[in-house]
Amino acid sequence: MEYIDSSSRSFAQNNKPAGCIFCAYPKECNDDENLIITKGRSAFVIMNRYPYSTGHLLVVPYRHTSIFSSLTNEEKLEIFSLAQHSVSVLEKIMHTDGFNLGINIGKAAGAGIDTHIHLHVVPRWNGDINFMSVTAETKVLPEALKVTQQRLLAEWNKTITP
């Protein structure tokens, strides 16, 4: 409901934290509140606070860069390994029909945070597009973020992360 309530959306948009959340959040000792699912050596997985669909995850390198070609081999390998594990976990707990995986590079490409590159892992289901996003500019999520977070965390460590 916090997301759906337009006053909450306005509040969230007007009160964004200073600096880069992708740099700040992993350094804080507050993974639960920051919706961080796991931390690797060169990248981490975080839930999208304003998701396109339930279970929308972001895989983010720790190093602050917006330049795709600057990713190191270690970063590329871990980002895609974490994305692969994210897909496996989401398939198990959400019974998905498909996924969108993508990197929006630059504002023109739709990047909400264009200064720090990140990979979107978006679960999809047959028929998941609804009229609310088209007519009311509102996204409807069938499950609260915290519930999804607990389901992800419970499943995440059942299998070995690549």
Instruction: Render pLDDT for 10-28 as a digit per residue (tens, 0 to 9).
Output: 445 555 667 899 999 999 9
Residue 1 placed within a domain: no
Length of the chain, in residues:
162
Q: Does a structural domain hold residue 113?
A: yes
Residue 121 lies in a domain: yes
Question: Mean pLDDT of all residues in the chain?
Answer: 85
Token pair listed for 131: 């009229």
**Residue 122 belongs to some domain of the structure:** yes
In a domain, 25, yes or no: yes
How confident is the model at residue 134, as a pLDDT? 44
Exposed (0-12), middle (13-18) or buried (19+): which is 91, by Cβ within 10 Å? middle
* 47: pLDDT strictly greater than 80: yes
- Annotation marks residue 56 as catalytic: no
Which tokens is 71 given?
């990713």
Q: Can you read off the two tokens belonging to residue 19?
A: 């600096």
Segment 57-81 shows an average pLDDT of 97
In a domain, 161, yes or no: no
Q: What is the reported pLDDT for 6?
A: 47
> What is the rounded distance in angstroms from the CA atom of residue 69 to the CA atom of residue 76?
10
Question: CA–CA separation, 77 vs 103, rounded Å?
Answer: 15
Residue % of the chain over a pLDDT of 90? 65
Q: Which of 56, 85, 116, 118 is catalytic?
A: 118
**Residue 123 structural domain:** 6-156
Answer whether residue 38 is part of any domain: yes
User: For the chain, how many structural domains are there in total?
Assistant: 1
Instruction: Give the model confidence (pLDDT) of 87-138 as tens digits.
Output: 999 999 999 999 999 999 999 998 889 999 999 999 999 987 654 454 345 4
Q: What is the pLDDT of residues 145-158, one digit of tens each?
A: 889 999 999 999 88
Specify if 162 maps to a domain: no
Q: What is the pTM of this model?
A: 0.81
CATH (domain of 100): 3.30.428.10
Q: What pLDDT sits at residue 18? A: 74
